[in-house]
Chains A and B, each alone.
Chain A
Amino acid sequence: MATMYFTKEHEWVKVKEGIGAIGISEHAAHELGDITFVELPKIGKTVKQFDVLAAIESVKAASDIYAPLSGKVIKINEALDDAPEIVNESAEDAGWLAWIEIADETELKNLMTHDQYNEYLKTL
């Protein structure tokens, strides 16, 4: 079972065996409203923690998506090109955006656990 961590900017990362699957939280997907376009990173791109990884456009706004961890993009969810609504329907599962090869797992200390994230949402 992969462990899930969250950022303050509402991204999540599921970590398993050095690989991180990245997406946006259900809360974020709900706040954005109907998503109309997902700009995914290129495979092979390297990102630093909290740098811009992708962008999501919805009927309300365009938002940058930040990388929860540093690493190299190894896989992207191409299904989102034709069906960005998957992010609305299943933000924390089928609506994942990209997989990265994690560069430094000690960066997890900068992220929140699921429970901590739920507490954080109450403060907003």
Chain B
Amino acid sequence: MQLIYEKSVAGRRGVKLPLSDVPAAAALPEKLLRKASAALPEVSELDLVRHFTNLSRRNYSLDTNFYPLGSCTMKYNAKVLENAAVLFAPFHPMTALLPGGVEFCQGNLGMLYDLGQMLADITGMDEVTTQPLAGAQGEMTGILLISAYHRAKGNKKKYVVVPDSSHGTNPASAAIAGYEIITVPTAPYGDMDIELFKKAMTDEVAAVMMTCPNTLGLFNPHIKEISDIAHSHDALMYYDGANLNAIMGKVKPGDVGFDVIHVNLHKTFATPHGGGGPGSGPVGVKKALIPFLPQPRIVMDDDGKFLLEDQKSVSIGRTANFFGNFAVMARAYAYIIMLGREGLIQVSEQAVLNANYIKERLKAYYDLPYDMICMHECVFSASKQLEHGVHAIDIAKYLIDKGYHPPTVYFPLIVKEAIMIEPTETESKATMDAFIEVMIEAAIAAETNPQLLRDAPVTTPVGRLDETKAAREQNVCCIG
């Protein structure tokens, strides 16, 4: 396929604009004036429409096919939620910040306030900030809150403890905030080794960052004990909300001892992601951390009016402009309102049932390193297939040929040749059965015709990409 620049023909236009009757740039200084025309592609409207329509047909999305990308919760984003976002579109994002502006956007502020209250209820926290723009920024915000808490108390803290199954962003956020990382290995029962954890804990530990259920899709049965040990050292418990879809309405992280949580609205609460974002990573905290939350906070006065409170004294400061990704929150708000408490419980139950269905049907064909009831995702290893020289990546590429987005591969790092499948609650049994059949085909092909897998994909616009060359010889430039 040609680039749009390669389709360019000098002088061709989609739209002919009338000549300007305003004196050309008289007020602009000479040094700001363009010497040559901008190097834009010159194409007709029809060329342009065909170009982008054809490009879009090469795209893969949740709206075209099943997308079982583990740890990403690629659930269907109902189209009705778009209406909620559009409703708020006429309001200028500066409105609330103008003198007297809050009078004109009570609905907007109220939506953010209510969303915060609902998320606090779901997660068992006391207050939520909606500012963080995505999960990783939520983590960063959370760690800065923890750091501010310890500073205010005069605690001397040096370390953050993470299990070795953690998302890479956990230790990365903690390291950026200036902490050293202590990694605790996973025990054979699939969760952080409780005895090694006890040894790692000292009064110098600032926080323990956990995902629960973890990246193996397993709920940690020791979680309360872990929180109690952490608290005995005045270390705070951080909950990575990536896997919240597994436990909504069943367990509140706040009830089992977590002090700070980030929620990925773009995962659990059905807003677009995977190239279609942006994300949104609200952060919830327990009471002791409220003073440090980003400002301005939205508060409700005794008359039910929403106000902005801006007390900068101990706050970690703003983490984003305009209260975060507002339109994303409007979609998530609508999602929660439409499903209600019972609906959200059903979401978690169905997500867990679906993952267990796939796990049970595939475990005869793929090694299951932690063979127990899983939560919303299951992690296989391609170790059986490796005996025939077939890697997880080969199976992933074969799935592309069969019309499926591959599951997450090579994560979590503690499972060799990991294949991590998260179907979510929005897929039907028929869709999962079709996927399972293709996974079984791949397992059989690994034994009978491994080359078929190693050659995949053959149906895509480009075959295997040279990932090593791309990473080693980074050469990014603009055409022009």
Contacts and interface: CB of A to CB of B under 8 A. Distances in A.
Contact of A59 (B168, B413, B467): B467
A104 B468 CA distance: 39
A61 B413 contact: yes
A57 B471 CA distance: 10
Interface residues of A, number: 10
Nearest to B410: A60
A61 B168 CA distance: 10
Interface in B59-98: none
Nearest to B168: A62
Contact of A34 (B168, B413, B468): B468
A95 interface: no
Contacts of B410: 60-61
Interface in A60-83: 60-62
B472 interface: yes
Interface residues of B, number: 7
Could you tell me the dominant secondary structure of chain B's interface residues? Answer: helix
A122 B467 CA distance: 30
Nearest to B474: A36
Contacts of A34: 467-468, 471-472
B472 A36 contact: yes
Most chain-B Cβ atoms within 10 A of its Cβ — which of A60, A62, A85?
A: A60
A85 B473 CA distance: 12
Interface string A32-43: 001011000000
A20 interface: no
Nearest to B472: A36
Nearest to A84: B472
A61 B171 CA distance: 14
A25 to B, nearest CB: 17
B168 A37 contact: no
Nearest to A33: B468
A37 B474 CA distance: 11
A94 to B, nearest CB: 17
Contacts of B168: 62
Nearest to B172: A62
Contacts of A37: 471-472
A59 B467 CA distance: 7
Contacts of A36: 468, 471-472
A29 B190 CA distance: 26
A36 B470 CA distance: 9
A36 B471 CA distance: 6
A36 B168 CA distance: 18
Most chain-A Cβ atoms within 10 A of its Cβ — which of B168, B410, B413, B471?
A: B471
A62 B169 CA distance: 12
Most chain-B Cβ atoms within 10 A of its Cβ — which of A36, A37, A84, A85?
A: A36
Contacts of B472: 34, 36-37, 84-85
A61 B411 CA distance: 9
B359 to A, nearest CB: 24
A61 B413 CA distance: 8
A75 B177 CA distance: 30
Contacts of A84: 472
Nearest to A88: B468
A36 B469 CA distance: 8
A84 B474 CA distance: 14
A37 B468 CA distance: 10
B215 to A, nearest CB: 14
Nearest to A85: B472
Contacts of B471: 34, 36-37, 57, 59
Contacts of A57: 471
Interface string B452-480: 00000000000000011001100000000
A40 to B, nearest CB: 16
Nearest to A124: B416
A60 B413 CA distance: 9
A42 B143 CA distance: 28
Nearest to A83: B472
B354 to A, nearest CB: 28
Nearest to B180: A52
19 contacts: A34-B467, A34-B468, A34-B471, A34-B472, A36-B468, A36-B471, A36-B472, A37-B471, A37-B472, A57-B471, A59-B467, A59-B468, A59-B471, A60-B410, A61-B410, A61-B413, A62-B168, A84-B472, A85-B472
Given A34-B471, A62-B168, 9 more contacts: A34-B467, A34-B468, A36-B471, A36-B472, A57-B471, A59-B467, A60-B410, A61-B413, A85-B472
